[in-house]
Amino acid sequence: MNKIITVINAVIILAILAGVGYLFAGGYNIAAAEKHWDITFKAIQTVRNQSIAAHSEDLEKPLPTDVGGYISHFHDSCRTCHGAPGVSPAEFAEGLYPKPPTLHKTETQKHWSDGEIVWIIANGIKMTAMPAFGPSHGVSEIHGLAGFVRKLPNMDEAAYRQLAASHGLSMETGGHQHGEDDGHHDALSESQSDAPPEGFLDELETGESGNGHSHE
Ligand code: HEC
């Protein structure tokens, strides 16, 4: 019996040492272009959801409703990653992992309470591209932004454009052209588990430059 326990202990210790060795030898690929396993992604999401729910408990209070003016802030600071009705995110958002969700979809927002949205905007989400706006913005601004986010699913492209125009905002996304229209700005609607463009990493290793946008 004692022998069996000794063997099991030895196997466990060896497995731990192999795991640590793998990590220190650089075996884990930290690339944003390399997706998590589904199970890892789901585990991270669960930890995130539970954490946000627990930390935002005291933040539930009615959000301001007269928030049209926050479009300027949203358009400059949030649209670049999240897009807006009829407006693409900036090109770099295509390469973020996890992908910034499309906030103007009811589907995206229904999961979150008002307090959770406030918390997310104020604190950001670790190990994702979602920044904390709390360090640079006042409480009323954070609430205004949260209120504006809540209005987005009810805004169509025309309503967003009209509001943006009345605040002197440009609808240009500022992206540069790659000489082809391959629809890559639609990337946010693609699923989280999409692989990076095939052959892209090989090209990087060999130094041969393709156009970098070989989705098809
Ligand atoms: C540099 C990119 C970036 C910018 C800028 C940014 N976000 Fe995000 N945001 C993200 C990413 C990435 C996520 C998803 C994080 C995750 O999967 O846990 C996210 C998540 C969120 C969520 C949670 C929605 C969800 O379902 O995950 C809200 C709400 C949000 N952002 C609001 C905002 C607002 C409001 C602004 C502007 C004040 C903003 N974000 C600016 C990248 C960004």
**pLDDT tens digits, one per residue of 53-71:** 999 998 888 999 999 999 9
Distance between the two ends of the chain, CA-based, in angstroms? 60
Q: Contact, 182 vs 213, CB < 8 A? A: yes
pLDDT at 177: 55
Quote the number of domains for the chain: 1
Q: Contact, 98 vs 128, CB < 8 A? A: yes
119: number of CA atoms within 13 Å, CB side? 21
φ, ψ dihedrals at 144, nearest 5°:
-60, -45
pLDDT at 171: 78
Full domain range(s) for residue 101: 56-170
Q: What is the CATH number of the domain that holds 117?
A: 1.10.760.10
> What pTM, to 2 d.p., does this model score?
0.82
Q: Show the tokens assigned to 119.
A: 């918390």
Expressed in angstroms and rounded, the spacing between residue 82 Cα and the centre of ligand 1 is: 7
Return the ligand 1 atom nearest residue 149 CA: 35
Expressed in angstroms and rounded, the spacing between residue 185 Cα and the centre of ligand 1 is: 17
3-state helix, strand, coil in the chain (%, to 5): 55, 0, 45
Neighbours of 157 (CB within 10 A): 13
Nearest-CA neighbor of 191 among 108, 125, 99, 81? 99
Going by the DSSP 8-state scheme, the letter that residue 14 receives in this structure is H
Q: Is 101 in the pocket of ligand 1 (CB under 6 A)?
A: yes
Expressed in angstroms and rounded, the spacing between residue 138 Cα and the centre of ligand 1 is: 18
pLDDT tens readout for residues 83-101: 999 999 999 999 999 999 9
Residue 144 lies in a domain: yes
pLDDT at 38: 96
The amino acid that residue 189 corresponds to is S
Residue 12 lies in a domain: no
Our CA angle for 107, 108, 111, nearest 5°, is 90
Residue 63 lies in a domain: yes
Weakly modelled stretches of the chain, pLDDT under 50: 175, 180-193, 210, 212-216
Number of residues that this document lists for the chain: 216
Spatial separation of the C-alpha atoms in residues 210 and 119, rounded to whole Å? 41
Residue 61 lies in a domain: yes
Among 55, 75, 130, 137, say which to mutate for ligand 1: greatest number of ligand atoms within 8 Å of CB: 130
Residue 69 lies in a domain: yes
Residue 140 lies in a domain: yes
Expressed in angstroms and rounded, the spacing between residue 78 Cα and the centre of ligand 1 is: 7
Q: Is 143 in the pocket of ligand 1 (CB under 6 A)?
A: no
Spatial separation of the C-alpha atoms in residues 101 and 99, rounded to whole Å? 6
Going by the DSSP 8-state scheme, the letter that residue 71 receives in this structure is H
Spatial separation of the C-alpha atoms in residues 163 and 71, rounded to whole Å? 8
* Residue with CA at minimum distance from ligand 1 atom 32: 121
Residue 182 lies in a domain: no
Return the ligand 1 atom nearest residue 111 CA: 26
Spatial separation of the C-alpha atoms in residues 19 and 21, rounded to whole Å? 5
Residue 44 lies in a domain: no
